[in-house]
Every structure is written in structure tokens, then in C-alpha cells.
């Protein structure tokens, strides 16, 4: 008897793919677009269109590392970027030194 198997590799599904950046100390304590103070140590992010309170998994496409954040601000306001991560989220993702990275976004929960 000969068994022939096939390995099927699924491409991950991302709701959005683009460039992520992060923002930190200069904004700590300032009011975000949602009205809450920016806490650079919280796992939050800014996105141009997702509703406040949306929970998103952000995947670094180069490393596969991921972090889960809650959208509480608007931005980024630089062409080509799709999300601005808090300092804590960027640190957990390992992107502080690189500054900007290509990411995939997966919406986990909408408010």
C-alpha cells in the first residue's frame, strides 16, 4: 500500500496589510481622539477608521510575532502607514529599534 499525502499551507487572512509605527513619551498623558488619556504603557493603538474599542491582532510579517491592541486613537497621519502602536505594544512586538514594520491586522472584536 502506498500512501500519498498532501500538505496544504494556508496563507493567513489579514483584514489589512501595511506599515505600522509607534508613538510614545511625547504623547503620554495627552488626550486621544477617543477622549481617554494616552497611556504609553497600555496595549492600545491609533487607526484611521476602525471604531474605538475595536480589538486587533497586529502581526509583524517579518518575524511572525504578534500583539493584541485596543483602538483608542486616530492616526497615523503619515502616508502609507495603517496603525500607530503604543510604546508597550511596540516593545512587545519587538519593533522599538526598527521604528516601522510591515504588519498584518486581524480584527478580533468590534465594539
User: Domain locations in the chain?
Assistant: 16-109
Do the Cβ atoms of 85 and 25 come closer than 8 Å? Answer: no
DSSP symbol at 37:
B
Q: How far apart are CA 96 and CA 63, in angstroms?
A: 14
Q: What is the CATH number of domain 16-109?
A: 2.40.40.10
The answer to whether residue 5 scores a pLDDT higher than 60 is: no
pLDDT at 108: 97
Beta strands, E only, the chain: 16-23, 44-46, 55-60, 66-73, 81-86, 101-109
The answer to whether residue 20 scores a pLDDT higher than 70 is: yes
Determine the average pLDDT of the residues in 79-106: 96
Half-sphere exposure of 33 (CA within 13 A, CB side): 16
pLDDT at 44: 99
pLDDT at 79: 93
Q: pLDDT tens digit string along 30-85? A: 999 999 999 999 999 999 999 999 999 999 999 999 999 999 999 999 999 999 99
pTM across the whole model: 0.88
3-state helix, strand, coil in the chain (%, to 5): 10, 40, 55
Amino acid at each position: 500500500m502506498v500512501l500519498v499525502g498532501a500538505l496544504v499551507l494556508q496563507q493567513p487572512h489579514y483584514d489589512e496589510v501595511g506599515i505600522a509605527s509607534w508613538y510614545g513619551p511625547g504623547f503620554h498623558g495627552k488626550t486621544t481622539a477617543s477622549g481617554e488619556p494616552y497611556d504609553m504603557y497600555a496595549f492600545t493603538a491609533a487607526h484611521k477608521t476602525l471604531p474605538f474599542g475595536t480589538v486587533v491582532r497586529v502581526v509583524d510579517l517579518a518575524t511572525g510575532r504578534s500583539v493584541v491592541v485596543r483602538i483608542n486613537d486616530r492616526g497615523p497621519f503619515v502616508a502609507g502607514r495603517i496603525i500607530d502602536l503604543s510604546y508597550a505594544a511596540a516593545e512587545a512586538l519587538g519593533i522599538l529599534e526598527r521604528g516601522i514594520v510591515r504588519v498584518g491586522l486581524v480584527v478580533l472584536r468590534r465594539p
